[in-house]
């Protein structure tokens, strides 16, 4: 990855669109696009030198750009062929095709983004759920580093006190720390790191989304309710029974969390092998369900409420209410949909937590670094505790503390030996 070259790539999503973006970054960005080199950051209208056609150019000057370099984003009609031709023309004029992630890599190389923020961008691109997107956003905010910052500072302070007892005992204001006191102060740091280590890795699906399964007799209005809750037509809704032959899952947001809404075939006695297969799908979906929404159309007796079930009266287009324990809905009129979403969210999230929804967003390397720090700090505490007021193996304890500090520093930033010495002398009186 040559960092000095000017790179170019299509920066908008693939496919046809009203507008598309071609992005350049590097010292030749303005010249390649035929722009004056003394232009300030902003938006200008320009004639592309290779075709004479017009485009809007968004100019960002380094070091204030995303990559820290001069950047130009060309806003063009979003035809894939036109965008590809523009990239080829830029390459012919001295640019190089960008490698995957190279814009974010340059941002990191120029100190504009931390490595966590860069990895958060990649995680956001690959996110397949709201929870994963939230984890990516937390990663970009540097929450992993913030979570270990207090531990790193605490270990640095303890290392300073240990090294003070080794190297600076001739200074009257430097008081070395005893073994028991050191171990007691390390214990809460290690405990907090163990809790952080248990945080799910960002983007990992530690728990599947809870299933909310719509069941009921054929032609009970399940598919219409399914589409209404999603807000778009996902399945075919028909007045004829038997239209839905497969269990159709679709993710949706309820109460700020995600669930998998499932439209199941109608429950009926099978008359053929196909009917039996459909009923088996219903059975499997109900077994997997965190909540079963039993749809009851007009004219059908309301069943008794069973565990993990919610009774919903469908096709209540006249807006009439429902008895206690049930919700009246009309997919066509929109009646009762908000109440149903609220009740589903309440029932699900009282017993289910979505994956990676809370806590700091960790990457595998974060977890490995925290595990290494825990091992080193535990070793230091084990060596120190028998010392009581003294610290017999101070050099070895200091070595373990330094290794633990280095492991934490790989996440939140390293602490140099000079900074540790600074912590020692910061405790001196003014004038000493």
Domains of the chain and CATH, by start: 7-110 (3.30.1360.120), 143-201+361-425 (1.20.120.430), 211-349 (3.40.50.300)
What pLDDT, on the 0 to 100 scale, is given for residue 280? 85
Report whether pLDDT(399) > 90.
yes
Per-position DSSP letters for 140-151, written without gaps between them: HTTHHHHHHHHH
What integer is the mean pLDDT of 370-394? 85
CA nearest neighbour of 252 among 190, 169, 345: 345
Q: Specify the pTM.
A: 0.50
CA dist 205 and 355 (Å) reads: 6
Q: What is the C-alpha separation between 420 and 427, in angstroms, rounded?
A: 12
Q: Which helix (H) or strand (E) holds 373?
A: helix 364-384
Q: Residue 27 above 90 pLDDT?
A: yes
Q: Say what the pLDDT of residue 79 is.
A: 93
Q: In this predicted structure, what is the pLDDT of residue 121?
A: 80
Instruction: Tell me the mean pLDDT in the region 241-254.
Output: 70
Kindly state the percentage of the chain with pLDDT values over 70.
81
For residues 136 and 77, which has the higher predicted lDDT (pLDDT)?
77
What's the average model confidence in pLDDT over 36-58?
93
Higher pLDDT, 88 or 356: 88
* Torsion angles phi and psi, residue 82, rounded to 5: -65, -40
- Of the candidates 22, 2, 25, 27, the residue with the CA atom closest to the CA atom of residue 12: 22
pLDDT at position 180: 87
Identify the residue with better confidence: 114 or 417.
114
Would you state the pLDDT for residue 130?
A: 66
């Amino acid at each position: 990855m040559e960092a000095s070259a000017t790179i170019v790539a299509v920066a908008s999503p693939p496919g046809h669109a009203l507008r598309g973006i071609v992005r350049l970054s590097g010292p030749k960005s303005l010249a390649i696009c035929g722009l004056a080199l003394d232009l300030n950051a902003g938006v200008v209208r320009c004639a592309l030198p290779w075709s004479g056609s017009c485009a809007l150019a968004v100019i960002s000057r380094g070091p204030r750009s995303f990559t820290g370099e001069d950047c130009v984003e060309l806003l063009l009609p979003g035809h894939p062929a036109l965008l590809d031709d523009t990239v080829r023309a830029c390459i012919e004029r001295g640019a190089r095709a960008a490698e995957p992630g190279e814009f974010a890599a340059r941002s990191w190389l120029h100190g504009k983004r931390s490595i966590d923020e860069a990895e958060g961008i990649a995680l956001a691109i690959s996110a397949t759920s709201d929870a994963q997107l939230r984890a990516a956003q937390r990663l970009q905010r540097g929450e992993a580093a913030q979570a270990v910052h207090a531990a790193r500072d605490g270990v640095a302070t303890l290392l300073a006190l240990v090294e003070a007892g080794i190297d600076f005992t001739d200074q009257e204001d430097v008081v070395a720390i005893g073994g028991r006191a050191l171990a007691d102060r390390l214990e809460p740091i290690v405990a907090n790191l163990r809790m952080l280590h248990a945080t799910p890795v960002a983007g990992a699906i530690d728990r599947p989304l809870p299933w909310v399964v719509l069941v009921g007799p054929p032609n009970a209005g399940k598919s219409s309710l399914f589409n209404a809750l999603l807000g778009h037509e996902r399945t075919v809704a028909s007045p004829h029974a038997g239209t839905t032959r497969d269990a159709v899952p679709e993710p949706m947001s309820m109460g700020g969390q995600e669930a998998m809404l499932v439209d199941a075939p109608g429950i009926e006695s099978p008359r053929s092998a196909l009917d039996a297969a459909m009923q088996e799908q219903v059975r499997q979906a109900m077994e997997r369900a965190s909540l079963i929404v039993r749809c009851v159309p007009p004219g059908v007796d309301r069943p008794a409420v069973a565990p993990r079930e919610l009774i919903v009266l469908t096709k209540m287009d006249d807006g009439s209410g429902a008895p206690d324990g049930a919700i009246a809905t009309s997919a066509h009129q929109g009646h009762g949909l908000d109440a149903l979403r609220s009740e589903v969210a309440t029932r699900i999230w009282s017993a289910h937590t979505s994956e990676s929804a809370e806590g700091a967003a960790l990457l595998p390397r974060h977890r490995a670094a925290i595990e290494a720090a825990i091992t080193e700090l535990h070793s230091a505490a084990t060596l120190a505790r028998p010392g009581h007021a003294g610290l017999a193996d101070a050099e070895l304890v200091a070595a373990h503390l330094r290794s633990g500090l280095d492991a934490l520093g790989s996440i939140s930033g390293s602490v140099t030996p000079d900074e540790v010495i600074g912590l020692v002398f910061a405790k001196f009186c003014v004038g000493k």
